[in-house]
Amino acid sequence: MTVHNLYIFDRNGTCLHYSEWNRKKQAGISKEEEYKLMYGMLFSIRSFVSKMSPLDMKDGFLAFQTSRYKLHYYETPTGVKVVMNTDLGVPNCRDVLHQIYSTLYVEYIVKNPLCPLGETLQSELFNSRLESFIRALPFFSARAG
Amino acid sequence: MADEALFQFLHNELIQYVYKSSEHGEMENGRCITKLENMGFRVGQGLIERFTRDTARFKDELDVMKFVCKDFWTCVFKKQIDNLRTNHQGIYVLQDNKFRLLTQLSAGKQYLEHAPKYLAFTCGLVRGGLANLGVKSIVTAEVSVMPACKFQVMIQKM
């Protein structure tokens, strides 16, 4: 059971943060292209899900899974998107992503006047707190499952 | 007391505003710090009137400093000063190991050069509070590792 990597995007598609813990295979394209690809995919899937839903939509797109990994998605009303790739053993972790947003992003980035919103996150405090938070998750183990 | 996030955001914007409205140039740094300190002075004067409404008169200077460290700091920052030192000749050093306005900035050396801006208002706050209690002083602050910081109070004898 493990967390592979984590992306944080803002409302305009800028990738604010990316960290990886257990990634065995790279995408084969540059990091900027990878972020654009991820953001574009999320944007399209969200509008697809809302259009094709046979019932009234409640939360919209939550997660997708393949035979090797699962991608969890959480979006705040302000447009901040938190995306986490984990392995298949992890159940719905929307509240974990919500916690990342509220206890880490809001506390250490929004409240930090020296971090301009809309740019890649530079605060070391945020990075170290995020690292310890992810490592403390019950479904994180350093070796890939 | 209202949510502390309100004051933090306002304080941060205040600092950005004072710096943006001054002309560009390194010399302006001192003037901005003075402006912020003077604002804090006026706020401190008002706050101390409010907080000491029902307390008895203070016996001496040390009593006044202890009040600032305990009650005043608790009312404004929801915690007490961690360490008070004095040389009994008019110099007091107030140490706060987890200063509320700096905790979100960093936990070490990053952004250290910007830290004094965020302490200026609080220096004025302390100076204004002491002034209204009859103690004339000069307050400076220094920070080496965030979020701990030290406020140095030098009492001015007439």
Measuring CA to CA, which residue among A109, A132, A112, A129 is closest to residue A10?
A109
DSSP state of B114: G
pLDDT along chain B (158 residues), means of 10: 77 87 69 90 91 84 86 87 89 89 80 86 92 90 88 86
pTM of the entire predicted model:
0.79
What residue type is B154 in one-letter code?
A: M
Q: How far apart are CA A66 and CA A87, in angstroms?
A: 9
> What is the nearest CA distance from B156 to chain A, expressed in angstroms?
34
Among chain B residues, CA nearest to A106: B104
* CB distance B41 to B124 below 8 Å: yes
Among chain B residues, CA nearest to A126: B106
pLDDT, one tens digit per residue, over A11-57 is 898 999 999 888 888 888 999 999 999 999 999 999 999 898 888 88
Q: Is the pLDDT of residue A97 over 50?
A: yes
Assign A145 a pLDDT band (cuts: 50, 70, 90): very low
Provide the token pair at B48.
């101390």
Measuring CA to CA, which residue among A9, A12, A11 is closest to residue A34?
A9
What interface predicted TM-score (ipTM) does this complex get?
0.70
Q: How far apart are CA B84 and CA B148, in angstroms?
A: 14
